[in-house]
Amino acid sequence: MTTEHERSRRGVLRGAAAVTLGTGFAAGATAGTAAAVGGTARADEPVSGASARERSGRRLDVAVLLYDGFTALDAVGPYETLCRVPGVRVTMVARRAGPVRTDTGELSVTAERSLREMPRADVLLVPGGGERGTTTTMADAGTLDWIRRVHRRSTWTTSVCTGALILGAAGLLRGLPATTHWASGPYLGEFGATYTPGRFVEAGKIITAAGVSAGVDMALHLAARLSDEKVAQATQLALEYDPDPPYDTGSPEKADAELRALALRLIADAAV
């Protein structure tokens, strides 16, 4: 009964998809299998979406550094954006493999591998965290050494939010324009970087993103660099990332001093 129920669901979900997709897709979709969907897309569009493995003969590894007190969305937004790019594997790593607590203490994400088990990656992504998590990691020689080692051979070294301060503490931002969470921007100067507000800033192979949610915008840009623009655009569609927040208070320029102070208090009060 359950199995039959599931089977019908599988068919119908694909069928439902087909309804919205119109001409050229129905044939593949009514077959009701992912394979058929893939086959149809492949037929329509032979080059774009060919996996990086198909093109380069190997997988691209993205390592996302987790640490006690990191901010979940800083890591999961880019993970969700990059994990469907053909040929890309996203791996959560931390000093020790296993569950890693976020800044609020309410959530844990599992690090699949330890830093030692992942000595290199094509893409390094350092998420931001609460003040305790960020400052502790900025002072953690072992983690900073690992970041420098991975950076030496990476294709892209990236950060989200206060992850830029960690890249800075590792000495990677000297003389570069960079961004971070709006509340920490001026602090980048202490690492010889120039705070450059923006959703993300690319300087050589280093890309830094602004606060928390900006990691998704950066990751779409990165998806195009790792694959091609069609794949990045299809990824945005897969995530239905057509943002329409109910307010327009997402940057400090769009908020008054009172709202900025309240935002900082919400951040501070939720932190453990």
Active-site annotation, residues: 161
Min dist CB 154 to its own copies, Å, is 19
C-alpha 65/C-alpha 91 separation (Å) is 9
- Phi-psi domain of 22 (left: phi exceeds 0; alpha: psi -120 through 50; beta: other): left
Min dist CB 52 to its own copies, Å, is 13
C-alpha 115/C-alpha 96 separation (Å) is 7
Which of 36/155 has CB closer to its own copies? 36
Which of 119/256 has CB closer to its own copies? 256
Question: Which among 113, 124, 111, 129 is positioned nearest to 74, based on CA atoms?
Answer: 129
Residues sharing a CB contact under 8 Å with residue 205, sequence separation 6 or more, in sequence order: 154, 155, 156, 157
Which of 3/152 has CB closer to its own copies? 3
Min dist CB 257 to its own copies, Å, is 5
C-alpha 119/C-alpha 102 separation (Å) is 23
Min dist CB 150 to its own copies, Å, is 18
C-alpha 100/C-alpha 110 separation (Å) is 6
Question: Which among 154, 166, 96 is positioned nearest to 130, based on CA atoms?
Answer: 166
CB 168 within 8 A of CB 160: no
Which of 152/247 has CB closer to its own copies? 247
C-alpha pair distances (Å), 265 with each of 101, 102, 261, 262: 21, 18, 6, 5
Min dist CB 40 to its own copies, Å, is 6
Which of 105/119 has CB closer to its own copies? 105
Find the radius of gyration of the CA atoms of the chain.
20
